[in-house]
A = this chain, B = another copy of it.
Amino acid sequence: MTATAGFVVIGDEILTGKVQDTNSHSLAQVLFTRGVRLSRIEVIPDVIDEIAATVKRASSAYTHVFTSGGIGPTHDDMTYEGIARAFGRKLVLHEPTVEKMRAHYSLKPEMMNEARLRMALLPEGCEIWETDGLWVPLVVVENVHVLPGVPMLFKGMLEAAAHRFVGVPLTRELVYTMGKEGDIAAPLAALAAAHPDIAIGSYPRDGGDHKVMISLEGPDARAVADLAARVADAIGGFRR
């Protein structure tokens, strides 16, 4: 069974166009490397019931679920509450996280206060994964992994935890061509049909030395490389 994943991005700021989501791209790249198939990304607003329903559905549908955003101290941070509701859990103050926060803030001008304590109000019975050098917990509830929205933190905590996700890594080969998609479509379709184990994608773009990038992805490195060579031959393409 292939390990699959769903990603739930929680944030009005994405949906209203104030901020461009980059965490999806970071997660997609890490999961591809780990051999875990990212099956769906959903961006939803900061609304507890929507978080609960979306996370619950994703949790049933995929091996792993990741969320980003909504775990800060302000009134619009709803993620822990949404996830608690998804699984019928209470929010409880997580003492080890409070201790880590206290130690962190004792070295800073900021004071502990009620708003900051909200960041330690976690779904009861959750697991905590620690990240070196950070007090922020990576909260795990069943198969759901809760990450912050700030891109640098998201990426750092994800990369620190990446080794825990094990799938079947695919080999990827890329072929480039100055040919047009409409002209290479027929030979590409024939090769794709003859090799159902290898996913062939065709992406038109203005790449300077190419007009289309073709990707080949499959579990057998040798087979992927062989097919990439045949694709390059068939469409007058090149590899780097």
> Which residues between 56 and 73 of chain A lie within 8 Å of chain B, taking CB atoms?
72-73
Which DSSP category, helix, strand, loop or mixed, fits chain A's interface?
mixed
Instruction: List the one stretch of A81-89, A126-134, A155-163, A175-183 in contact with chain B.
Output: A175-183
Choose from B16, B25, B180 the contact partner of A32 (Cβ within 8 Å). B16
Q: How far in angstroms is the closest Cβ of chain B from A97?
A: 14
**16 residue pairs A–B, Cβ–Cβ below 8 Å:** A14-B25, A14-B28, A15-B37, A15-B38, A15-B40, A16-B28, A17-B32, A17-B38, A18-B213, A40-B44, A73-B181, A74-B185, A111-B183, A113-B186, A118-B185, A119-B182
Contact A183–B215 (Cβ < 8 Å): no
Contacts of A192 in B (CB 8 A): 75-76
Encode A15-41 as 1/0 by CB contact (under 8 A) with B. Answer: 111111110110011111000011111
Choose from B46, B110, B183 the contact partner of A182 (Cβ within 8 Å). B110
Contact A115–B185 (Cβ < 8 Å): yes
For A, the interface residue count at a CB cutoff of 8 angstroms equals 65
> Which residues between 154 and 209 of chain A lie within 8 Å of chain B, taking CB atoms?
172, 180-186, 188-189, 192-193, 199-205
The complex places the Cα of A209 from the Cα of B115 at a distance, in Å, of 23
Contact A150–B204 (Cβ < 8 Å): yes
Contact B110–A12 (Cβ < 8 Å): no
Q: A21-B24, A113-B186, A215-B18 are in contact. Are A202 and B72 (CB under 8 A)?
A: yes
Contacts of A111 in B (CB 8 A): 183
Q: How far in angstroms is the closest Cβ of chain B from A231?
A: 12
The list of the 5 closest CB pairs from A to B, nearest first, reads A115-B185, A17-B28, A17-B29, A41-B43, A75-B189
> Given A17-B28, A17-B31, A74-B181, 9 other A-B contacts at CB below 8 A?
A14-B25, A18-B201, A18-B213, A18-B215, A20-B22, A72-B202, A73-B182, A115-B181, A150-B204
**A153 to chain B: closest residue by CB:** B204
Contact B16–A38 (Cβ < 8 Å): yes
Encode A79-121 as 1/0 by CB contact (under 8 A) with B. Answer: 0000000000000000000000000000000110111101100
Q: How far in angstroms is the closest Cβ of chain B from A23?
A: 11
Contacts of A24 in B (CB 8 A): 14, 20-21, 43
